[in-house]
A = this chain, B = another copy of it.
């Protein structure tokens, strides 16, 4: 049974666990739309197989797929991956999918946010997004977990929680006119408190992709564990991102979390700005209502977009001189986890990376 619960996680004693807490499985969606993924989505699908295979070394994976790609997904993915039919408009499970919450008894429920393709009719990335918006409900039904319907537009990549009462997010995204223009900052904070069961909202300023997700936090900062955050930085003062990343760093160093702790901040370098090549751009369908991808467009490549799994870290790399230093910093921050790298370029061509295409279901 999957009930729609007319209440809030906070009222019922449920909280969203940190990503570093134990998982039952990871959810993904299979990529295919030819106006976002080049060459009919085939290179992206190979990248998804790499990511799903890497995660499968640590915990179970379920991949949702449209009917017309069902057989192909089953045949391309390793046999250990569960493939289920979940119609979708694109493959960003982190953003269109659910956020799971747990209580102290080990019960698991999920929060079903509104989804409008990162900005709806204001500055969304495609139209329509009707299938994406049903993904959370379908996950709830497959898993038979009860569901909260949150009264706001929200993507999983726009926040991180520490599982102990703190949420990390950006003003650029959550206060964007394309999300919840009728809600004040205070009302949005109130919804975060109710649906994630947190006490403290730490507001960063901006992310690194204003035109796509409007600055999702999951490209620029995350929790390593309660009291410890990792933040992306660049040493290059000519990089347009330098100042916004420094601003985020200052905010993190000046704030405290819900428990009153000063945050320990670990900095992580950025790869060089990665541009879409002519060869990578020509095989993308041109379509009305979808943001075009052209040669020379800058992508939002970031090491910070890694995924924490049970006993591991799935880290995107970019054939960049910073790949090894970044790997070393992540390994140092997570000494009990094995860092597995996956090629991140193909995924970032579509607008995100490992974290954006996954969602953890806690063990409960």
Contacts and interface: CB of A to CB of B under 8 A. Distances in A.
A82 interface: yes
Which has the most chain B C-beta neighbours within 10 Å: A3, A138, A141? A141
Interface string A51-95: 000000000000000010011001000011011111100000000
A2 interface: yes
Given A67-B131, A85-B86, A80 B138 contact: no
A74 B131 contact: no
Contact of A85 (B3, B82, B138, B144): B138
A82 B84 CA distance: 14
Given A71-B134, A85-B87, A79 B141 contact: no
Interface string A167-203: 0000000000000000000000000000000000000
Interface residues of A, number: 22
Interface string A1-16: 1110000000000000
A214 interface: no
A142 B84 contact: yes
A137 interface: yes
A74 to B, nearest CB: 7
A193 to B, nearest CB: 28
A144 B141 CA distance: 16
For this chain, the copies found in one complex come to 2
Contact of A87 (B1, B67, B142): B67
Contacts of A138: 70, 84-85
A38 B138 CA distance: 28
A144 B81 CA distance: 10
Contact of A144 (B70, B82, B86): B82
Contacts of A87: 67, 70, 85
Interface in A296-310: none
Most buried by B among A83, A84, A85: A85
B141 A142 contact: no
Given A67-B131, A71-B134, A134-B71, A84 B3 contact: no
A2 B1 CA distance: 23
A74 B141 contact: yes
Nearest to A146: B79
Nearest to A138: B85
Contacts of A86: 85
Contacts of A134: 67, 70-71
Contact of A82 (B74, B80, B131, B141): B141
Interface of A: 1-3, 67, 70-71, 74, 79-80, 82-87, 131, 134, 137-138, 141-142, 144
15 contacts: A2-B82, A67-B67, A67-B131, A67-B134, A70-B87, A71-B134, A74-B137, A82-B141, A82-B142, A83-B141, A84-B85, A84-B138, A85-B85, A85-B86, A85-B87
**The 8 A-B residue pairs with the shortest CB-CB distance in the complex, in nearest-first order:** A67-B87, A85-B85, A83-B141, A1-B80, A84-B142, A82-B141, A3-B79, A85-B138
